[in-house]
Amino acid sequence: MSESADPGSAGITVQRALDLPGLRGGLPEVVAGTEQLHRTVRWVHAGEVPHIASLLKGGELLLTTGLGLGTRPAEQRAFVRDLARRGIAALVVELGTRFDRLPAALVETARGAGLPLVQLHREVPFVTVTEEIHTEIVNGHYALLRQAEEVHGRCTRALLGGGGIPQVLAVLADFAGNPVFLESADGRLLYAAGGTPEECADPLQVWQRLRGTPAAREDGPPAGSLLVDVPGDGPPGPGGGGPVRARLVLLPVDGRLGPVHRIAAERAAGSLAVVLMQARQEDELAARGRGDFLNDLAEGRVSAEDAPAQARVLGFRPGDTPLLPMVMRLPAGAVDLSPGGWSVLARAVAEELAAVGVPVLLGVRPVEGRVPLLLGLRSESERTAVADRVAAALRAGVERAGPRAAGAARPVVVAGVAGGWAAASAGLRHAAETASAAQGLGDRPWYDARRLDIDLLLWRLRDHPDLAAFVDRAIGPLLAHDRRSRQPLLPTLQTHLAHAGRKAETARELHLNRQTLYNRLARIGDILGTDLDDPHTVLALSLALRARRHLG
């Protein structure tokens, strides 16, 4: 491969261009910018117009006879300054047509700007020079592609040999001579690879320093870094699928990174996209399998005697400790629940649950929109503490899988009764039904299934016409009043009943004085034609308000 200005660069240096036969035959003399002959020549351009700088993009070697340089020193200085600002690689002037020797203003300005300036003492065919340099550049590009394909071949062989993402990253890190990272689309570190600590920086320390803090992420990666997206395969969605599933990050810690490293990283990103897609499918199938087992256990299709052996096959080995069944019900819009969205959710929730510190069997039930799980407790006394931690982990996983839109309902988490495998079967079924009945209740971290039996009974009767008739008899007049009035009274009744008829607490929550509250309660009693101090009336109204939620 040709001599290059940078590691892995497809261009050639100015010095290499001057050594080629075409320019060497013109007896080149470098009169300015000798220390910049390592610059990369990206392309060759020949021209004789005064404002040629506006036609260039940077990195060109410009060939000219000097006709466009101008006759006055000021014009010549401006000509060179414009080229330097444009970032060309070098200016080569053929003597004889316009100049016998280059003007002092031209040379001095080039020296001040650090622009390589070369004069040719013999005439050369510019087309020959152009062909030679372009051939070298094209050959360099081909050599880069060949190197990148070799790296891609090594990655492919690693995958076919049973390796995974760590092996692909190790191949890329070895080729780049720098640490390589795979980050999630939101910037979390998934994998890291690098050489041995004796040869290069520890990749985890590098990531923590340069990418792992909010300040580092805000500042962005260091100059010269390479960031390559690993594409997804589905519609845009946080955490998975969509246009970007993950991101390859190469940081120039132990050496510079060049175009060849970008090409190799782009090839590796294609391989990683396939690996991640397969992993996502496998994750989802496994999560669905565990969900099917838990559903079969709940429905009695797996006996308490057979359940422990099947659970061990699925990786759940709680021993003889009590089992706590829990179910999370996801409202519509909480996360992307398309195929693939479930794998992202299962992985995010599993990662959060890992910090809880108890054995967990987690599954998904896409049809019902549920996430059932069993937890192994050391004793029944820790049920509440574990349920608190698990509920927080479940909700954190949902937030990671798909940040909740403003106003969207939160997931409902229900915990059953701790016990053996027989109790787990009944507890999972009870918690699953209760999670459906609890939709629309106040936002709490989790609910005890035993305290929602009334809601569950009303939910089961939601399609029975007698339930709708009961609600209409109990609170229908009040609902009709609120539809006509600018001052609805139903919230006052709800708050009053929630506080078990304690007027002081009701007034405090509604920010009302006592007399205003008394007047409202009296008005409600008149509209309903009932006594709000009668226990039977209070019970009927409470049931009607809870039943109304299930009637939509």
pLDDT at 383: 92
Reported as a single tens digit per residue, the pLDDT across 29-80 is 999 999 999 998 988 999 898 889 988 988 899 999 989 898 899 999 999 9
Homologous superfamily in CATH for domain 12-137: HprK N-terminal domain-like (3.40.1390.20)
Do 136 and 142 meet the contact criterion of CB atoms below 8 Å apart?
A: no
For residue 99, give both structure tokens: 């100049």
Q: What pLDDT is stored for residue 320 in this prediction?
A: 87
Write down the pLDDT at residue 6: 47
Number of H helices, E strands in the chain: 19, 16
pLDDT at 328: 92
Q: What is the DSSP pairing of strand 246-250 with strand 323-329?
A: unpaired
pLDDT at site 365:
87
Q: Count Cβ neighbours within 10 Å for each residue of 110-123 and write b for 16 or more, e otherwise.
A: beebebbbbbbeee
Of the candidates 62, 120, 75, the residue with the CA atom closest to the CA atom of residue 96 = 120
What number of CA atoms fall less than 13 Å from residue 210's CA on the CB side?
20
465-550 CATH fold: Arc Repressor Mutant, subunit A (1.10.10)
CB count within 10 Å of CB 217 equals 14
In CATH terms, are 148-278 and 287-452 the same topology?
no
The CATH homologous superfamily to which domain 148-278 belongs is: GAF domain (3.30.450.40)
**DSSP E strand boundaries for 262-416:** 323-329, 360-362, 370-376, 412-415
The domain ranges of the chain are 12-137, 148-278, 287-452, 465-550
Provide the 8-state DSSP code for 243: S
Other CB atoms within a 10 A radius of the CB of residue 464 amount to 11
C-beta atoms surrounding 509 within 10 Å: 11
Measured CA to CA, the distance from residue 336 to residue 185 in angstroms comes to: 15
Q: What is the structure's pLDDT at 403?
A: 55
Helices 259-298 and 421-437, axial angle in degrees (round to 10): 100
Contact residues for 482 (Cβ-Cβ < 8 A; gap 6+): 488, 489, 490
**Hey, what amino acid is at 233?**
D
Sign of the C-alpha dihedral computed for residues 36, 42, 46 and 50 taken in this order: negative
Please give the pLDDT value at position 372.
94
Cα–Cα–Cα angle for 548, 551, 552, rounded to 5 degrees: 100
Alpha carbons 118 and 20: distance in angstroms, whole number: 14
* Amino acid residing at 32: A
* Host H or E run for residue 448: strand 447-448
For the residues of 345-373, what is the DSSP string, one character each?
A: HHHHHHHHHTTT-S-EEE--BTTTTEEEE
Q: Does residue 344 contact residue 280 with C-beta atoms inside 8 Å?
A: yes
CB atoms within 10 A of CB 254: 16
- Identify the three-state secondary structure at position 514: helix
pLDDT at residue number 151: 85
Query: Residues 316, 421: contact at Cβ < 8 Å?
Result: no
Distances from the Cα of 111 to the Cα of 68, 119, 259, 306, 412, angstroms: 20, 14, 29, 86, 72
What number of other Cβ atoms are within 10 A of residue 72's Cβ? Answer: 11
Write the CATH number of the domain with boundaries 287-452.
Answer: 3.30.70
Please identify which residue in the block is written with the tokens 């959060």.
Answer: 352
Tell me the CB-side half-sphere exposure of residue 428, using CA atoms within 13 A.
Answer: 29
- Pairing mode, strands 43-46 and 60-64: parallel
pLDDT at 408: 53
List, in order, residues 6 or more apart from 180 with CB less than 8 Å away. Answer: 169, 172, 173, 192, 193, 194, 203, 248, 249, 250, 265
Per-residue pLDDT, 195: 54
Q: What is the largest CA-CA distance in the chain?
A: 115
Question: How high is the pLDDT of residue 3?
Answer: 41
- Report the distance separating Cα 212 and Cα 204, nearest Å: 9
Strands of the 447-448 sheet, one edge to the other:
360-362, 370-376, 323-329, 412-415, 447-448
Contact between 68 and 88 (Cβ < 8 Å): no
pLDDT below 50 — which residues of the chain?
1-8, 196-198, 234-241, 405-407
Q: Which residues is 45 bridged to in the sheet?
A: 62
